[in-house]
Chains A and B, each alone.
Chain A
Amino acid sequence: MTGAPLLHVEHLTMRFGGLVAVDNLSFEAREAAITAVIGPNGAGKTTVFNCLTGFYPPTVGRLTLTRGGEAGFQLERMEGHRIAREAGIARTFQNIRLFPQMSVLENLMVAQHAELMRASVFSVAGLLGLPGYRAAARGAIDRARLWLDRIGLTERADDDAGNLPYGDQRRLEIARAMCARPALLCLDEPAAGLNARETAGLNALLLEIRETERIGILLIEHDMSVVMGISDHIVVLDYGRKIAEGKPAAMRDNPDVIRAYLGQEHGEAPPC
């Protein structure tokens, strides 16, 4: 089912002053697979994302993204916007970061900026309304429509993104990331604040993305129904260190994982 290796994280360490947020972490993520990174609060999950997407330069470590046998991108040496554009890593944020005063459709168009910019040739072709640009703009709208249909927001395409209900905003952020045509999609707690029905919808959407787009998905999540329900591989962090990794079923019974979540003396399974 899962494809070729996509992302290699080797010996990633991130220090903030004296605090070691991520400590010598290595794992890999594959194409057409959902890799979940879990761990108690403060385990360093979001920091891993911030290093991957160029928000912080890591203190130590190699982050390599390899798409379809090409030479890999060394992410730790790239600026954030180049990682997104060239290496093809798109992400969502723990506290949603949409463009609230722009319409839903505009949000999806901004995600296709690089392509449209190329077609508009420094805006000159765009200003003149040349056919090449118009075709590209139509293509971008079609792609946006495809994703709007998938997340069920077609009706609200012209409304301000900031006026959408919370759950819709979460889905729109995923659609926006997908419009950027990523090779790796990083989702930072996509189920936070969703109700049970919305969570089930999210699971279906992520599985659909995995099947149809065959891209890698890296997922930070606390909601075990999401993690256990859809991930192919789980990496468990605690205090910045990897304490376990493997298939969901194996993680459920792993004593280290249980200890990290519930403390020493409990022997029960982690919340499912």
Chain B
Amino acid sequence: MTTAATDRETPPFAAAAREAALTAAVALALTGPMIGLHAASQATGLVIETRWPEVAIAVALVFLGRFLLALLGRAFVWPVLAAGLAVAGGGLFVPFPNALLKAVCVAGGLIVALRAALMLVRPRMTAAARAKPALAARWVAPAAGAAMTAFALLLPVMPFADRQLLDLATLVVIYILLGWGLNIVVGLAGLLDLGYVAFYAVGAYSFALLAQYFAFSFWEALPLAGLFAAMFGVLLGFPVLRLRGDYLAIVTLGFGEMIRIVLTNWVALTRGPNGISGIPKPSFFGAPFARSPPEGTEAFHQIFDLAFSPMHRVIFLYYVALTLALLANVFILRIRTLPIGRAWEALREDEIACRALGLNPTSIKLSAFSLGAMFGGIAGCVFAARQSFISPESFSFIESAIILAIVVLGGMGSQIGVVCAAVLLIGLPEWFRELQDYRMLAFGGLMVMIMVWRPRGLLSHRDPTVRLPAARETPP
């Protein structure tokens, strides 16, 4: 495809091999010292241990991958497809010194094969077929939304739903809620917030502290957690929202870190790094989920005449999170079509034009910021209830980064995109617990790859919030 004129003189294989050799040399410089030489701490000081086989395999894999991709660029589609599959298949059976290299080999082979396959398929798609997604999205999005909601509602009664899965599902729903909250700020209003975790922390700690010092229940603390977080959003937002994009990003990042530092060091109130434990679980409208409830109250299983099961509590918490998320979804979908929602998007598009039309940028930004913060606070409250224990460690910058990644990977402003990205980033890695060590490595790599593959996010289609209705007959 991209065959340069000079390539006609050199045979394609030699040219591809040269390209691959250059890449492999870079890979050697990258992996040689870092993987090949391990500085191990010993009693006598640092001692170097070597791991050359790993380096050799890594460099060989890079060479092979680059070579195949270079051939693909020279229109050797079928051989590359076959070779990619062969490498992936071979990787499964050949012994590797560690699981990561095996995973890289298999995944790399598959990616090469996939790209080759895409090159086969693409030209066959007509222009009409490519234009179709935009038209189809109008009914696909609601249909997919409905299907996802139905699946989420039925999840606890599915045969494969065990306690671990539901716990994980609750976590995913919490992240979906966080993603939707941040989506208001970043996706709609276009304000880059790198410290969203601050509001999550405020919500979680509001509940934990209210429960600890004033014996508040989940349901009493929930609205307060949202309110506190929103108030916090206004307090933070007021001085900083005048700042332009990247300055806003770094200042919000700073605030996020400051909250964590305060939570860590204000030991008298928060018990510092030890965290707060014994946070109560939500009750079923006053009925606790306990085998033997305290005197004078009836437990959930007694009211419904069921045998006691610890699963009830897990399922209930899942439904609480899901209900809150669905409410948030309805709220956000609706508010998007209201003047304030359109003003957020207009502000994202052009602040100067907004001012010229009489929109007050500060108050509009503030409303987006505090509303987003409120959802963060509510999610934090649910998170505290799920964990029963929170510590400042749960609210580090990486959380902000993950939530932002969910929003951007999903496709900014897209509600369903957030769901997809949350399942992908939170659900899947938890699933592959065996690869625990490599989880965050894969997470970071995945973020880069998805962005390079789809810079506008997985689902980037935007539907107008209002359509021109067919002209009405004007009465004579």
Partners in one complex: yes
Q: Tell me whether A97 and B346 are in contact in the complex, defined as CB-CB below 8 angstroms, given that A113-B359, A120-B339 are known contacts.
A: no
Residues from 115 to 132 in A contacting B, C-beta threshold 8 Å: 116-117, 120, 123, 126-127
| Cβ-defined partner of B353 (8 Å) among A93, A109, A144, A157 | A93
Determine the residue in chain B with the shortest Cβ distance to A124.
B338
Question: Complex formed: what's the CA distance from A69 to B159 in Å?
Answer: 76
A262 at the interface (CB under 8 A from B): no
Shortest Cβ distance from A87 into chain B, in angstroms? 10
A98 at the interface (CB under 8 A from B): yes
> A110, B359: Cβ atoms under 8 Å?
yes
| Cβ-defined partner of A99 (8 Å) among B349, B358, B360, B466 | B349
| Among B331, B343, B349, residue most surrounded by chain A Cβ atoms (within 10 Å) | B349
Residues from 420 to 476 in B contacting A, C-beta threshold 8 Å: 462, 464-469, 471
> B357, A176: Cβ atoms under 8 Å?
yes
B298 at the interface (CB under 8 A from A): no
> B462, A101: Cβ atoms under 8 Å?
yes
Per-position binary interface string of chain A over residues 175-204, scored 1 when its CB falls under 8 Å from any chain B CB and 0 otherwise = 011001000000000000000000000000
Residues from 354 to 374 in B contacting A, C-beta threshold 8 Å: 354-361
> A99, B353: Cβ atoms under 8 Å?
yes
Cβ contacts under 8 Å, B359 to chain A: 81, 110, 113-114
B143 at the interface (CB under 8 A from A): no
> A106, B339: Cβ atoms under 8 Å?
no
B39 at the interface (CB under 8 A from A): no
Shortest Cβ distance from B6 into chain A, in angstroms? 39
Per-position binary interface string of chain B over residues 325-366, scored 1 when its CB falls under 8 Å from any chain A CB and 0 otherwise = 000000100110011101101100110111111111100000
Q: Tell me whether A157 and B338 are in contact in the complex, defined as CB-CB below 8 angstroms, given that A81-B359, A113-B359, A127-B331 are known contacts.
A: no
Residues from 298 to 347 in B contacting A, C-beta threshold 8 Å: 331, 334-335, 338-340, 342-343, 345-346
> A120, B358: Cβ atoms under 8 Å?
no
Q: Tell me whether A99 and B346 are in contact in the complex, defined as CB-CB below 8 angstroms, given that A53-B356, A85-B358, A180-B357 are known contacts.
A: yes
Question: Complex formed: what's the CA distance from A117 to B356 in Å?
Answer: 17
Cβ contacts under 8 Å, A81 to chain B: 354-355, 358-361
> A148, B468: Cβ atoms under 8 Å?
yes
Cβ contacts under 8 Å, A82 to chain B: 358, 360
- Number of inter-chain CB pairs below 8 Å: 121
Cβ contacts under 8 Å, B464 to chain A: 102-103, 105-106, 158
A80 at the interface (CB under 8 A from B): yes
A91 at the interface (CB under 8 A from B): yes
Determine the residue in chain A with the shortest Cβ distance to B361.
A81
> A109, B467: Cβ atoms under 8 Å?
no
> B350, A84: Cβ atoms under 8 Å?
no
Question: Complex formed: what's the CA distance from A235 to B472 in Å?
Answer: 44
Q: Tell me whether A116 and B339 are in contact in the complex, defined as CB-CB below 8 angstroms, given that A81-B359, A103-B464 are known contacts.
A: yes
Determine the residue in chain B with the shortest Cβ distance to A181.
B358
Per-position binary interface string of chain A over residues 248-266, scored 1 when its CB falls under 8 Å from any chain B CB and 0 otherwise = 0000000000000000000
Question: Complex formed: what's the CA distance from A82 to B363 in Å?
Answer: 13
Q: Tell me whether A90 and B466 are in contact in the complex, defined as CB-CB below 8 angstroms, given that A99-B350, A120-B340 are known contacts.
A: no
Per-position binary interface string of chain A over residues 67-104, scored 1 when its CB falls under 8 Å from any chain B CB and 0 otherwise = 00000000000001110111000110100011111110
> A117, B352: Cβ atoms under 8 Å?
no
> B342, A110: Cβ atoms under 8 Å?
yes
| Cβ-defined partner of B355 (8 Å) among A80, A105, A123, A137 | A80
Q: Tell me whether A123 and B361 are in contact in the complex, defined as CB-CB below 8 angstroms, given that A99-B345, A100-B349 are known contacts.
A: no
Q: Name B residues whose Cβ lies closer than 8 Å to a Cβ of A.
A: 331, 334-335, 338-340, 342-343, 345-346, 349-350, 352-361, 462, 464-469, 471
21 contacts between A and B (CB under 8 A): A55-B355, A90-B356, A90-B357, A97-B352, A98-B350, A98-B353, A99-B349, A101-B462, A102-B342, A102-B345, A102-B464, A105-B467, A106-B346, A106-B466, A110-B339, A110-B342, A113-B358, A123-B338, A145-B471, A148-B468, A180-B358
User: Top 7 A-B pairs ranked by shortest CB distance?
Assistant: A85-B358, A84-B358, A99-B349, A157-B468, A103-B464, A116-B339, A97-B353
